[in-house]
Structure 1
Amino acid sequence: MNIIASDSSSFDELASMLEGYDCPAILVSVDYRILAINQHYREEFGDVPLQQNKRCFEVSHGYSVPCDEAGEDCPLSATLQSGRKERVLHIHQTPRGKEHVDVEMLPIHDSHGKLLFFVELLRSVSVASAQDGSKKLVGSSKSFNRMLEKITRVSHSDASVLLLGESGSGKELVAHAVHQGGHRAKNSMVTLECAGLTDSLFESELFGHVKGSFTGAHSNRVGLVELANGGTLFLDEIGDVPLSMQVKLLRLIETGAFRPVGSSIIKHTNFRLICATHKNLAEMVKAGEFRQDLYYRINVFPIHVPSLRERQDDLVLLTNTLLKRINQRKEYHLTDSAMQVLKQYNFPGNIRELSNILNRATLLTDTNLIERSTIQECLEIDRELDPLGETSSASQLLSINDAGEDKEWLDLKTAEKRYLSELMAFHHDDKEQVAKVAGISLRSLYRKLE
């Protein structure tokens, strides 16, 4: 199409072309002005007063400068630099609040190669939320958005996905997001926890067995690979699959064929494979503990699932979300000082540990306001229950003093006792006044002084 900026009929034709897209679409000038929108955009994001010459970053982000000047990736700027279409994940302001949106920017040139417009396609990411707990995946930090961008890219394909991350970081939730974002979402996602399975049990769980195939096989059993037909098979902690079983798993992935234990009948299945591990599989391959050919089969599209330490900017959002999920009938809140305690903690158990701490805190608090001392008590319990007997960041925090030297802090329990003791002495054992100054209930104070 030969488009000239001054040719209004050609411009109208290009604007009407937006209706041909099956998603929200806008026409943008090279100076970020929104020139036209389609009906899908109006329905999902609302109308835009075109006569006001609004710029795209003003409407979608509320910024006064382009996205790349506000600390985000800008698809328009990236397209200008590359000369081809670009795609990024953004958090947009919508009538429903902040939402993750997958943005694709297409450059439109005239017959002489001059850049005239951009067509911006916007697809909402339904598997995650940037502001509340309505979705299983919640976050808005840079590390979370990088992960989510990979999820949106791979979901619509059938490529095998390998999720890499620490225990408790939410790898199974990410697996569900990949499954729900793809064309197999209407079918089941079947999960096999590989840790702790013997050779025979792994084979029976995965492939199924027939009656009498081994002691205890009193009836036929359908294997998980058969149940996953048409859907997704999620192998959690793939690094724990027995070495002797890895060749059978490899054959299943390559051919889709399997044979239930004790059966001579070959069956076939079609599934999307997602694996997860907290182990370094590449090092395991070097050590001869994991088959190299299997590693390359499952590592088609790796996704790093960030630890909670890598997404500290999400801590407040995650805390509020988890509190809502813990008790939907009672609304809990953390005091600012309680949140500061959480921000100083290292969370070796990641989001799973945060959830446990908050569950414990709601049981220990007397009101719907969770105080600093309650969070400190919960962290102290975690330290005491540490099966490795290691000193956690809850009991030993380092900071930099004015001289630039490391300063070792007291563990929370000792510091709290010293604080309350000094406070009691200063207020001449007036417990009501001490409780008021400490920001805790009188009942909590009595419990801590016992």
Structure 2
Amino acid sequence: MQLIARDTDHNAARMLDGYDCPAILMSADYQVLAANDLYTATFGAIDPKRTPHCYQVSHGYDRPCDQAGESCPLAACKQSGAKERVLHIHNTPRGREHVDVEMLPIKGEQGQLKYFVELLKPVQTASVEASAQKMVGASAAFNKAVDLINRVGPSEASVLLLGESGTGKELAARAVHDASARRDNPFVTVECAGLTDSLFESELFGHLKGAFTGASFRKQGLIEAARGGTLFLDEVGDIPLPLQVKLLRLIESGTYRPIGSVQVQMADFRLVCATHKNLKAMVSAGEFRQDLYYRINVFPICLPALRERTEDIPLLARSLLQKLAPGHRLSRAAEHWLQSQAFAGNIRELRNLLERACLLETTDSISPATLTLATEADRACENHLPDSARAKQEGDDLKSLQARHLQQLLAEHHGDKQAAARAAGISLRTFYRKLKGV
């Protein structure tokens, strides 16, 4: 244990050794008084000559966090008198890192707030530096999502990841898995879009040899493959209603039967789902079962769109380039150019643009001119395709014209729909449909 201030209460400082994570003892005026050995091993020794304050050590600030635009757990702890928790980005010997900070108040004999213990747990699932494997970012919107992932990860609660297409929901699902006690067991992804009834059961539950025509071998289902780990249902909003019943039964009972088997198997997985659709609206429209919705929506996490975290774009771009073309880099002007773009397709669109730019760039430094060229190549292709909005309008106009023609025929035949349909050369059923303009 390291004592920083000479007048530190030794009994209070000694309690730091009882924590299994980095911990420091602080005064009400933000001064760091002592640190345990785990703190020193993780974040380095604190220089006692500087009589440091926590905001100086952790952030390099000259004032408390809440005066520098961030939430301050110590200020919140003083106000509430209770434990407070927040996700911060701290300076460490390895660079800046996400840290889960928990502040505990220590009261004196008269009940006054005398000391504060700060517990610091580095977050392993996200990075403030360029990374090809982790979620990366430092914006407030990104940190909020990481904080929720870090809180729910150690539990067994089902997680529902919500966000636009291309916001990194699969990477977030992997982060939930990596933050759990199941991290050393399988992480299995089920692509729900396009699953038919028979394919759903075969993929999820597996089948025995001879269970149906063409079943020439025993197939392991994805539930069995995920045993002890995490089952990730991607685009769960695309599961048809009949299949939702089977999924609900699996979740509620925790059991399943492979196709062709009479033996009930016990499932053992942590469920994480993701969708870009508004499931609540789908429930109201009768397109998604309400009981299934509440089963999977135990802990919802909204992943921000790229336009909500533009300050993260340079970091994301550098991380993507590590995978796409390690020898390429972005100029500062190119980073600013990227931050000015809308990116309706989010991170997926950013990745495509960078890959295209790497192929077009003649040097190892990607410039705004090359990014512009890559974007124009995309737009040039779009100009050769029919405008979807215009095509829809033309289709609507045609339907309206057809409906008016049929109404005229109906009037000419004095309301006799059968006669009007014969005159139009169509069936009565088609007549009704076109008359409504559908």
TM-score bracket, normalised by the shorter chain, equals: 0.7 to 0.9
Query: Shift of the alpha carbon at 1:98?
Result: 0.5
Per the alignment, residue 198 of structure 1 pairs with 196
Query: Shift of the alpha carbon at 1:390?
Result: 6.2
Per-residue CA deviations over 1:132-188 (Å, capped at 9, x if unaligned) read 216421100010000000011000000000000011110000000010011000100
Query: Shift of the alpha carbon at 1:247?
Result: 1.3
Assess if the C-alpha contact under 8 Å between 1:165 and 1:305 holds in 2: yes
Point out the more displaced range, 253-262 or 36-45. 253-262
Correspondent of 2:350 among 354, 366, 376: 354
Per-residue CA deviations over 1:290-313 (Å, capped at 9, x if unaligned) read 000000010000000111111101
Structure 2 residue identity aligned to 1:377: L
> Is it true that 1:365 corresponds to 2:378 in the alignment?
no
Structure-1 separation of matches of 2:165 and 2:387: 18
Query: Shift of the alpha carbon at 1:379?
Result: 1.2
Per the alignment, residue 126 of structure 1 pairs with 124
Assess if the C-alpha contact under 8 Å between 1:196 and 1:240 holds in 2: yes
Structure-2 separation of matches of 1:377 and 1:295: 44
- 1:51-200 matched pairs, under 5 angstroms: 51-133=49-131, 135-200=133-198
Q: Please, what TM-score do these two structures have when normalized by structure 1?
A: 0.82
Point out the more displaced range, 40-49 or 382-391. 382-391
Structure 1 residue identity aligned to 2:352: N
Structure-2 separation of matches of 1:63 and 1:375: 36
Alpha carbons of structure 1 residues 40 and 389: separation in structure 2 relative to 1, 3 Å = farther
Q: Please, what TM-score do these two structures have when normalized by structure 2?
A: 0.84
Per the alignment, residue 334 of structure 2 pairs with 338
Per the alignment, residue 3 of structure 1 pairs with none
Query: Shift of the alpha carbon at 1:53?
Result: 1.9
Assess if the C-alpha contact under 8 Å between 1:129 and 1:135 holds in 2: no
Unaligned runs of 5+ in 2: 1-5, 390-438
> Is it true that 1:307 corresponds to 2:305 in the alignment?
yes
Assess if the C-alpha contact under 8 Å between 1:208 and 1:261 holds in 2: yes
Structure 2 residue identity aligned to 1:25: A
Per-residue CA deviations over 1:330-359 (Å, capped at 9, x if unaligned) read 2x2223443333222211111111111111
Structure-1 separation of matches of 2:362 and 2:167: 30
Per the alignment, residue 377 of structure 1 pairs with 373
Assess if the C-alpha contact under 8 Å between 1:158 and 1:272 holds in 2: yes
Structure-1 separation of matches of 2:227 and 2:119: 33
Alpha carbons of structure 1 residues 65 and 335: separation in structure 2 relative to 1, 3 Å = same
Structure 2 residue identity aligned to 1:279: K
Assess if the C-alpha contact under 8 Å between 1:143 and 1:306 holds in 2: yes
Structure-2 separation of matches of 1:159 and 1:336: 42
Alpha carbons of structure 1 residues 243 and 38: separation in structure 2 relative to 1, 3 Å = same
Alpha carbons of structure 1 residues 58 and 198: separation in structure 2 relative to 1, 3 Å = same
Assess if the C-alpha contact under 8 Å between 2:132 and 2:323 holds in 1: no
Correspondent of 1:39 among 22, 37, 40: 37
Structure-2 separation of matches of 1:213 and 1:388: 47
Structure 2 residue identity aligned to 1:309: R
Per the alignment, residue 230 of structure 1 pairs with 228
Point out the more displaced range, 114-123 or 49-58. 49-58
Assess if the C-alpha contact under 8 Å between 1:36 and 1:50 holds in 2: no
Query: Shift of the alpha carbon at 1:388?
Result: 7.7
Per-residue CA deviations over 1:262-287 (Å, capped at 9, x if unaligned) read 22111001110000000000000001
Per-residue CA deviations over 1:343-387 (Å, capped at 9, x if unaligned) read 222111111111111111111111102122211121123334557
Unaligned runs of 5+ in 1: 1-6, 392-450
Structure 2 residue identity aligned to 1:246: Q
Query: Shift of the alpha carbon at 1:213?
Result: 2.2
Structure-2 separation of matches of 1:383 and 1:296: 42
Per-residue CA deviations over 1:388-419 (Å, capped at 9, x if unaligned) read 8469xxxxxxxxxxxxxxxxxxxxxxxxxxxx
Point out the more displaced range, 246-255 or 266-275. 246-255
Point out the more displaced range, 215-224 or 237-246. 215-224
- 1:252-271 matched pairs, under 5 angstroms: 252-271=250-269
Structure-2 separation of matches of 1:347 and 1:383: 14
Correspondent of 1:243 among 227, 238, 241: 241
Point out the more displaced range, 44-53 or 291-300. 44-53
Q: Secondary structure at the match of 1:162?
A: strand
Q: Secondary structure at the match of 1:101?
A: strand
Structure-2 separation of matches of 1:341 and 1:57: 33
Per the alignment, residue 285 of structure 1 pairs with 283
Per the alignment, residue 424 of structure 2 pairs with none
Assess if the C-alpha contact under 8 Å between 2:311 and 2:339 holds in 1: no
Per the alignment, residue 448 of structure 1 pairs with none
Structure-2 separation of matches of 1:237 and 1:182: 22
Query: Shift of the alpha carbon at 1:51?
Result: 4.7
Alpha carbons of structure 1 residues 134 and 124: separation in structure 2 relative to 1, 3 Å = farther
